[in-house]
Amino acid sequence: MAYYEAICFWLSLVIYALAAGGYIYALVFRNEKVVPKLLVLIGIGLAVHTGAVAARYFAQGHFPWSTDYENGLMGGWFIIASTLFVAWRQKSLRVFAVATVPTTMLIMGYGVMRNPTLAPMAATLKSFWLAIHVFFAWLSFGAYVLAMAAGVIYLLKERAAARGTASADDRFADLSPERLDDLMFKYLVFGFITNAIMIAAGSIWAKDLWGAYWSWDPVETWSLISWLMYGAAIHLRVTMGWRGTRFSWLMIGALLTVIINFFGVSILMKSSVHVFKMS
Amino acid sequence: MLKSTLKYLGSLRCTIWLLVALIAVFSIGFFLPQRSVVGKAAYLKWQASAPLLARIDQTLQLTDIFTAPVTLVIWGLFFLNLLLVMKQRIPLVLAKVQVDPEKALQRHGLGPFSYSVQLAEGDRERIPAALAAQGYQVHGDADRFFAIKNRRSPLATLVFHLSFFLLLIGWLISFYSRFTGFVDVSEHEPFLGELARYNAAPKLPKSGGGAPEVKFLVESVRPEVSQGVATGIKIVLKDEAGATHQVDINEPYKTGYASVLFNDLGISPLFVLQDASGREIDGAYVKLDVLKGKRDHFRMQAYDVAAWYYPDHVVTDGKDATRSEEFKNPAFHLEVTRDGKAVASGTVHPGEAVLLDNGLRLGFKEQNFWVRLLVTKEYGREFIYAGFMLALVALIWRLVYYRREITGVVRETAGGKVLELGARGDFYQALAKDEFDRTVAALTRRS
């Protein structure tokens, strides 16, 4: 890690931790008035986080997008940016941070425990198609995390209603269950389309790098599994009418496939061509 | 029986199960070592470490799951399902696209959202025009109209399914026409596309035919290493016409449907054997696989030579070592034997030599590189690219530009004329309501 990158990275993590704590407080003590302030805190966290990305960029001379640490750094940035973007577009969606901020902390924390060493960009990663591939990968990841967050909020509302502690409309009053249900599907659709672009761009890149569009490499295989999983979710929604609770759990469970794809493959597999060796 | 089977195969429930089945077989392929992915050595090692599991996997073809009969059957059923679903859907989709405004108006009031707008003087004519300005196609007159946005959106479902068939066709053409072969070529060495020059067993096209007519001379090879990371390799190829082409990682040389990709790098030093008077009695560029500390050997005259390579040579504690992976100070450590007996050993830089028996010297004249190039040729890419494009266009078309319908009927009431609006949209409920609320609010503002 570069000096300023380390400062910004840990500072952003501390800020996110404070924000996550604030959200837990808001949830447990039913004090949703603090949420706007927490969002400002997350905004400051994102600015510092951007500083970490920039410091790494200047130290290495390329965008961080190859190792587990860099995946965590950039992935976290996209998730927080998506959270702030949807909250800016629609105030009622500010509560999504209750799920997205802890997710970001986990993936950043996992990444920093792996390999934050600075390194020049391996030749295999110098490709226009890779830039498209990675950009859309992060967009889809951000969207799937938002779909998961909508699912979590849906279930929280539903649980509150079931316990009789509050009606479904009392918790996160600005968000009706129907709206959350639609939002899950909307983010799923966005994620699915960007995921498809990610796979297509990766396939074209693979042709120039390894000589074949598709080699059933573990990362390719798992990304297809993930895409099929979300494709099945669209089918279940559109043709079988899966909604509400079932669909929420589906969005939460399906995110596991994406997390495995981004972070798990390099642990589980030693033979993936996507584990880019530095020599 | 056949009818009911085909009916089930054409159902959307079957689609879900087939997707689940594909996810299951791909998961097996992910967790179990696949022969095509892990490489022969790693596979044999795994086989030795878990012989029983390996035998079970082999019997069930789980270690070649992506081409196993069970997977091919699932793929076959998947495409059959797509075909049957498309067959069923085509008339439905076409009927949906060719909307009958009258039928739509008969459903007026049955949609999920309804609004009433009190009309002022002159509003009646303005509202259909305002809807048209928002991208709706408006049918009917000011008193009774049907407005629709993104009418053709359902067609995208068919286009999306069609894209899978294009990908399948592209894959089949590619699979049957594909040639792949590795060839090792040194700097300044020509390659004339001869099949015999390829490394062991190039994969010939299943549809027949031989190696592609790819001819070139490797003019130069310049690997780039920085801080131990391979940051690039500049390979200059000269084709038959004398034109030069640069190959790098991610930048193959493409000629027609053939591609030449960099795959591996090795050292190709010029070693010469000289007698006591300095006369060269033998010499050759030898292709050695000695990078990353590997040992290789070659034979010259009666001598067997084992070689170790140090790209950035340094002597540490009396031992040969390399400071980095950068080619800053290349050196070879050579151990020479004849008839199994050690003759000489030593470390040489370019221009230096090892003294052998009988007054002979083995000199390291200069260092060149050799590259392992992957030559591929396949057809079908047009279908694959078209498939990708159509799939993306269809997804965006269907799921982003989804269909919205509004019916409007003007009724006379005691308070004057009221426009009753009914609205429905594909896929969304609450979000569609927001959109219709905005649309109606805009219409009301105009009125």
Q: What pLDDT is stored for residue A176 in this prediction?
A: 83
Whether residue B447 is predicted with pLDDT greater than 50 in this model: the reply is no
The ipTM of this complex is 0.81
Residues A201 and A100 in one domain: no
Whether residue B431 is predicted with pLDDT greater than 90 in this model: the reply is no
Residue whose token pair is 């689609």: B15
pTM for this prediction: 0.82
Residues A20 and A112 in one domain: yes
Residue B394 counted as domain residue: no
- The single-letter code of the amino acid at B158 is L
| Overall average pLDDT of the B382-404 stretch | 90
Residues A213, B384: C-beta atoms closer than 8 Å: yes
Residue B281 counted as domain residue: yes
Is A119 within 8 Å of A191 (Cβ atoms)? no
Q: Among residues 228-267 of chain B, which lie with CB inside 8 Å of chain A? A: 228-233, 248-252, 259, 261
Whether residue A57 is predicted with pLDDT greater than 70 in this model: the reply is yes
User: B416: domain CATH number?
Assistant: 3.30.310.80
Is A187 within 8 Å of A83 (Cβ atoms)? no
Q: What pLDDT is stored for residue B434 in this prediction?
A: 82
Residue B326 counted as domain residue: yes
Mapping DSSP to helix (H, G, I), strand (E, B) and coil, where does residue B309 land?
strand
What are the start-end ranges of the H helices in chain A?
Answer: 3-28, 35-60, 68-89, 97-112, 128-163, 177-210, 218-240, 244-259, 265-268
Whether residue A139 is predicted with pLDDT greater than 60 in this model: the reply is yes
Q: For residues B366 and A86, what is the distance between their CA atoms, to the nearest angstrom?
A: 62
Residues B29 and B105 in one domain: no
Q: Helices H, strands E: what count in chain B?
A: 11, 21
> Could you tell me which chain B residue has the CA closest to the CA of A195?
B392
Q: What pLDDT is stored for residue B156 in this prediction?
A: 92
> Could you tell me which chain B residue has the CA closest to the CA of A120?
B229
Q: What pLDDT is stored for residue A168 in this prediction?
A: 44
Residues B200 and B245 in one domain: yes
Residue B302 counted as domain residue: yes
Whether residue A171 is predicted with pLDDT greater than 70 in this model: the reply is no
Examine the fold and report which residue of A121, A144, A179 is the final residue of a domain before the chain moves on: A121
Q: Name the nearest CA neighbour of A42 among A13, A69, A67, A68.
A: A13
Q: What pLDDT is stored for residue A275 in this prediction?
A: 46
Residues A178 and A138 in one domain: yes
pLDDT digits 0-9 by tens, B175-187: 999 999 999 999 9
Residue with the bigger pLDDT between B114 and A191: it is A191
Residues A83 and A6 in one domain: yes
| Overall average pLDDT of the B134-157 stretch | 88
Is B339 within 8 Å of B303 (Cβ atoms)? no
Whether residue A233 is predicted with pLDDT greater than 70 in this model: the reply is yes
Q: What range defines the domain where residue B184 resides?
A: 162-264+373-388
Residues A189 and A72 in one domain: no
Residues A235 and A218 in one domain: yes
Whether residue B196 is predicted with pLDDT greater than 50 in this model: the reply is yes
Residues A44 and A139 in one domain: no
Residues A136 and A270 in one domain: yes
Residues B144 and B233 in one domain: no
Number of structural domains chain A divides into: 2
Whether residue A266 is predicted with pLDDT greater than 80 in this model: the reply is no
Residues B274 and B350 in one domain: yes
Residues B279 and B256 in one domain: no
Q: What pLDDT is stored for residue A114 in this prediction?
A: 78
**Quick one: tokens of A162?**
């079931």
In whole angstroms, how large is the CA radius of gyration of chain B?
36
Q: Are strands B296-300 and B416-425 parallel, antiparallel or unpaired?
A: unpaired
The per-residue b/e assignment along B166-184, b for 16 or more CB within 10 angstroms, e otherwise, is bbbbbbebbeebbbbbbbb
Q: What pLDDT is stored for residue A279 in this prediction?
A: 36
Neighbours of B193 (CB within 10 A): 17
Q: What pLDDT is stored for residue B308 in this prediction?
A: 93
Q: Are strands B352-355 and B361-377 parallel, antiparallel or unpaired?
A: antiparallel
- The single-letter code of the amino acid at B7 is K
Mutual angle of helices B430-446 and A177-210, in 10-degree steps: 110
Number of structural domains chain B divides into: 4
Q: Name the nearest CA neighbour of B337 among B309, B305, B308, B298.
A: B305
Residues A268, B174: C-beta atoms closer than 8 Å: no
**Quick one: tokens of A150?**
């909508």
Is B349 within 8 Å of B331 (Cβ atoms)? yes
Q: What pLDDT is stored for residue A166 in this prediction?
A: 58
Q: How confident is the model at residue A272 (pLDDT cuts 50, 70, 90)?
A: low
Q: What percent of chain B has pLDDT over 90?
A: 35
Residue B271 counted as domain residue: yes
Examine the fold and report which residue of A66, A101, A121 is the final residue of a domain before the chain moves on: A121
Q: What pLDDT is stored for residue A13 in this prediction?
A: 92
Q: Does B207 touch chain A (CB under 8 A)?
A: no
What secondary structure, in 3-state letters, does B345-356 show? EEEECCCEEEEC
Q: For the ranges A34-38, A164-168, A214-218, A233-237, which has the lowest average pLDDT?
A: A164-168
pLDDT digits 0-9 by tens, B266-292: 999 999 999 888 888 888 899 999 988
Mapping DSSP to helix (H, G, I), strand (E, B) and coil, where does residue A147 land?
helix
pLDDT digits 0-9 by tens, B63-90: 778 888 888 999 999 999 999 989 888 9
Residues A258 and A168 in one domain: yes
Residue B421 counted as domain residue: yes
Mapping DSSP to helix (H, G, I), strand (E, B) and coil, where does residue B382 land?
helix
Residues A240, B13: C-beta atoms closer than 8 Å: yes
| Overall average pLDDT of the B328-356 stretch | 90
Average pLDDT of chain A, as a whole number? 84
Q: For residues B187 and B152, what is the distance between their CA atoms, to the nearest angstrom?
A: 58
**Quick one: tokens of A15?**
């800020």
Residues A132 and A266 in one domain: yes
Examine the fold and report which residue of A121, A147, A182 is the final residue of a domain before the chain moves on: A121
Residues A166 and A32 in one domain: no
Q: For residues B430 and A28, what is the distance between their CA atoms, to the nearest angstrom?
A: 28
Is A84 within 8 Å of A146 (Cβ atoms)? no
Residue B397 counted as domain residue: no
Q: Among residues 269-308 of chain B, which lie with CB inside 8 Å of chain A? A: 292
pLDDT digits 0-9 by tens, A100-123: 899 899 888 888 887 787 777 777
Q: How confident is the model at residue A269 (pLDDT cuts 50, 70, 90)?
A: low
- From the list A123, A185, A224, which residue is nearest B230 (CB)? A123
> Which residues pair with residue B268 across a beta bridge?
B368
Alpha carbon A274 to its chain's center? 19
Q: How confident is the model at residue A46 (pLDDT cuts 50, 70, 90)?
A: very high
Residues A129 and A234 in one domain: yes
- From the list A200, A209, A271, which residue is nearest B392 (CB)? A200
Residue B204 counted as domain residue: yes
**Quick one: tokens of B34?**
């696949």
Whether residue B123 is predicted with pLDDT greater than 90 in this model: the reply is no
Residue with the bigger pLDDT between A199 and A28: it is A199
pLDDT digits 0-9 by tens, B23-55: 998 888 887 777 777 677 777 777 777 778 777
Q: For residues B109 and B409, what is the distance between their CA atoms, to the nearest angstrom?
A: 10
Q: Does B12 touch chain A (CB under 8 A)?
A: yes
Residues B23, A228: C-beta atoms closer than 8 Å: yes
Q: What range defines the domain where residue A224 resides?
A: 122-279
CA dist list (Å): B144 to B87, B110, B139, B409, B447 = 35, 16, 9, 5, 17
Give the best residue of B388, B396, B433 to mutate against chain A (max A CB count within 10 A).
B388
